[in-house]
Each structure stands twice: as C-alpha cells, then as structure tokens.
C-alpha cells in the first residue's frame, strides 16, 4: 500500500469512528462526498484491501508483449544499429511487420539504455523564410560529401529540393562535387517536372565566377563584364534565374535534407546490400518516391510554376561544356589535346576552312560540334590532318631536280657581253615626252 492509500484509509477510518464527517473527509481527500461514502462502505464490507486499486499488478491489455519488446531491442542492436529512432520505427513496420508507435519505440529503447545515434543539439533560433506559394518557383540545389555506404569511401550526393513542397526533385551520386553532377540533376528536373523559374545555390565556382562582384568602377565604365560559368551559361539558355545564397542558413531547406539523408540512406543501403555508387544511383529513384510520399507537403497555390520545355529543345546541347574552336584542314579541329573530324550521317562533313564552331562536350553524348545551327558528330583522328599535306609537299620538293642555267644564258655573261636593249620609241619621241612633262609641271606650279 502506498503512502497516499495509507492516508486515504486513515481518513476513512475516522469517518467510520465518527471522528470527522463525510463532508470533512471529502475536503481532506479532495474527493466528492459520493466517493467517500463508497470507500467507507467498501472498507466496512471488505476491509482495508478495498482501498488498493484493483489493476495493481495486472498487465494492461494493450501493453506490448515482452517477446516483442525483446525483439525490438535485438533488432536495434544488430540489424538496424545505425538507424535513428524515427527511422527505426518505420523500418520495423516496413521490413519486420512490427507496427508500434514512435513513443513506444523510444520508451522501450530508452529503458534498455539505448541512445539514438542522431544527436539532438540545441539549435540557434533563425527567422524562417516563408515557403514559396507555387511548386517550381524556387528550387534549392547543393551537394553533400559523406561516407554514404557504411564502411566505404566518401563521395558526393548532388540534390535538388522544391521550396514550396519540400519534395526531392533530383538526386545523383558522383565521386566529387562537380559540374557533371549538377547537369545530371538539372536534366532530371527538366525531364520529370519541367524548367523551374529560379534556383537557389551557394557561391561555389561552378555557379559563380571568382571575379563576380570584384570589378572596379573604372573597369565597369570601360564595359568589362564577368564571364558566365558553364552552369550559368546553361541556365541562361534555359531561362532560369540563379540566386546566390550568402550563408548556409539561407538555403536551410536543403541543408536540413542532408541531415535526414545522411541518417537514412546509409541504413537503407546496408539493408539492401548496396555497396557501389552505381547501385546507389539506381536505388535513388525508388527512395525519392517513398520519401516524397511521407514528407512532401501541399503548396499554397496548386498551380505549378514549372515551364515545360519546347518539343524541339536539345537538352544535351545545353547541359554541356561549350567552347569555341576554329576549323583547320579537312573540317577538323583540336580539343583537349586531340584532333576531331566533323561527321554528318557517318560521312565526313564539308565546312569552309577557318570557320568558327562551338564544341559541345557532354557526359552523355561525348564530343559534338555546332555550326550554323546544326549539330555534327565527331570522330577522333590519330594526328593533325595538316601535318600529312606538309609531309607530302616536303617529299615532292626533295624529288624535284635542281635546274642550272645554260653556259650562254645572259646571267652567265659579263656586262659587256650582254646584248644591249633598245626602247621601241625613237630618241625624238622621248624628248617630246620629256618636254610635255616639263610644261605640265610649270603650269601646275
């Protein structure tokens, strides 16, 4: 019997002995007079045991069985060791057919002395920017280096999240944060959703030139401009505005996404036996679908702001590296230490010498070239075409015999021996010509 129950029994006994009234006992026990009468009658009939609650020592009908609790603890300490409590509760329902609430999982694991691997640190208070009203108005992009495969090396996950809905729009793994990774996620966005109105990114040199904002007033007055990066040029062709964040907190939505993915993805890879970057990329499609179904929210305005691309748009010719080159002999050009031949439908293309072309270097299609609005395929050459023609000319020069002048050639005769050359005009005609020239000079002066 607890101290509270002992006190209650003492007061009830005083009512039985007529020491205090029912009303006074109700005030002391903070009960109604009806409850005091009920307790007095029960003690008189059944004794002091009536004060003890009847459910004491009995296990609730809705309580989790002991074997289920032991199984939950065993799974957390073995198969799902790296999962945080919230993710572990989802995995139990998905893979182990154990449907329990998060508070239940937290209570069972906490009582067993198990702590969540995800630390909950006290966060600084920041003013949260309101979400955009329409899906596609603002897309945040970034990359996160992390050991995504447990026990594996670091590699980078490029991602994009919609500001209005919190929906993951694209994910792609590469060895390092690079232009190719961002081109891949932009391709996923355009193909599956459309062209967004703007993107929000940091000031990485992939997005912004190091000279951006550093031109002096004199240089600006002279008309100097900072060249766009390859990514900036591609976004300009798509009509997408780039907004640069000054701090990491500015793009907090995707920063919080990285915390969630770094906690969940390695566990998902471990469960499915994924240990390569290629297999991880294949799994991301399924993961994004399940993630968005659980965490995405509805936008304020249901109308999408994504713009569908034109039917004739060649996305591979936009999401690539573009550089200018000049054609040399045989419709060929030099690029990245190699020589390439322009081809059209498997045949050597005929383009004028020294024409300016645009080289299209894509991770998907390889090296192509654009000229006069047409895109040409290329073929790698073993050597520079002009070198072959020079070698032919040199060999022809060596085979040509030297011709010496004859013994009676004027070049071999002395000045006295050379025949004298006379003008066809007579001396009189020459004098008349000189006289006319002299008279005209005097008249002019």
Residues 88-114 pLDDT 10s: 988 998 888 888 898 999 888 988 888
Provide the Cα torsion 261, 267, 271, 273; round to 10°. 80
**Which of 124, 114, 64 is CA-nearest to residue 88?**
114
Q: Quick one: how many helices (H) and strands (E) in the chain?
A: 13, 12
How do residues 338-349 score in pLDDT, each as one tens digit? 999 999 888 888
| DSSP per-residue codes, 386-442 | HHHHHHHHHHHHHHSPPPPPPTTSGGGS-TTTSPPP--SS-HHHHHHHHHHHHHHHH
The whole-number average pLDDT for the span 320-338 is 90
Which residues 6+ apart lie within 8 Å of 258 measured at CB?
Answer: 142, 144, 146, 157, 159
Of residues 45 and 394, the one with the higher pLDDT is 45
301: pLDDT strictly greater than 60: yes
Higher-confidence residue of 433 and 398: namely 433
pLDDT above 50 for 389:
no
Looking at residue 122, its pLDDT comes to 60
The domains of the chain are located at: 3-51, 66-111, 139-211+227-295, 320-386
Among candidates 108, 95, 96, which has minimal Cα distance to 63? 108
| Lowest-confidence pick of 12-21, 216-225, 243-252, 314-323 | 216-225
pLDDT of residue 394: 53
Higher pLDDT: 17 or 190? It is 190
d(CA 135, CA 392): 64
Q: Are 150 and 266 in contact, with CB atoms under 8 Å apart?
A: yes
pLDDT value at 237 more than 70: yes
Alpha-helical segments (H) within 145-206: 179-192
Mean pLDDT in the chain? 85
**pLDDT for position 52:** 79
pTM here is 0.69
Radius of gyration (Cα) for the chain, nearest Å?
A: 44
The answer as to CATH 3.30.420.10 being correct for domain 139-211+227-295 is yes
């Amino acid at each position: 019997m607890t101290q509270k129950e002992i006190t209650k029994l003492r007061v009830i006994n005083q009512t039985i002995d007529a020491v205090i009234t029912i009303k006074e006992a109700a005030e002391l026990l903070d009960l109604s007079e009806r409850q005091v009468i009920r307790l007095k009658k029960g003690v008189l009939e059944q004794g002091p045991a009536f004060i003890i609650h009847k459910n004491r020592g009995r296990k609730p009908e809705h309580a989790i069985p002991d074997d289920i609790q032991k199984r939950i603890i065993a799974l957390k300490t073995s198969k799902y060791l790296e999962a945080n409590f919230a993710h572990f509760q989802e995995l139990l329902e998905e893979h182990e057919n154990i449907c329990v609430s998060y508070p239940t999982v937290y209570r069972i694991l906490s009582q067993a002395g198990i702590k969540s691997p995800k630390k909950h640190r006290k966060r600084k208070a920041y003013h949260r920017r309101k979400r955009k009203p329409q899906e596609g108005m603002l897309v945040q992009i970034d990359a996160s280096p992390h050991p995504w495969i447990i026990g594996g090396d670091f590699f980078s996950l490029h991602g994009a999240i919609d500001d209005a809905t919190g929906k993951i729009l694209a994910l792609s793994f590469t060895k390092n944060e690079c232009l190719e990774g961002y081109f891949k996620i932009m391709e996923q966005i355009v193909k599956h959703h459309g062209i967004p109105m703007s993107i929000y990114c940091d000031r990485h040199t992939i997005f912004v030139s190091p000279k951006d904002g550093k031109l002096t007033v004199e240089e600006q007055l002279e008309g100097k401009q900072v060249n766009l990066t390859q990514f900036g040029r591609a976004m300009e062709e798509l009509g997408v505005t780039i907004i640069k964040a000054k701090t990491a907190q500015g793009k907090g939505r995707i920063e919080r996404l990285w915390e969630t993915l770094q906690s969940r993805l390695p566990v998902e890879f471990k469960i499915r036996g994924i240990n390569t970057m290629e297999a991880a990329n294949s799994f991301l499609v399924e993961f994004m679908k399940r993630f968005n179904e659980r965490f995405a929210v509805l936008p304020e305005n249901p109308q999408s702001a994504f713009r569908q691309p034109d039917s004739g748009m060649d996305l591979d010719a936009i999401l690539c590296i573009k550089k200018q080159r000049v054609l040399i002999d045989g419709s060929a050009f030099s690029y990245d230490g190699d020589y390439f031949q322009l081809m059209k439908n498997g045949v050597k293309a005929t383009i004028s010498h020294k024409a300016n072309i645009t080289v299209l270097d894509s991770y998907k299609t390889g090296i192509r070239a654009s000229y006069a609005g047409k895109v040409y395929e290329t073929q790698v050459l073993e050597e520079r075409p002009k070198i072959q023609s020079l070698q032919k000319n040199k060999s022809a020069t060596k085979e040509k015999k030297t011709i010496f002048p004859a013994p009676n050639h004027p070049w071999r005769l002395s000045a006295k021996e050379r025949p004298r050359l006379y003008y066809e005009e007579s001396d009189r005609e020459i004098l008349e010509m000189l006289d006319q020239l002299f008279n005209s000079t005097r008249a002019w002066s």
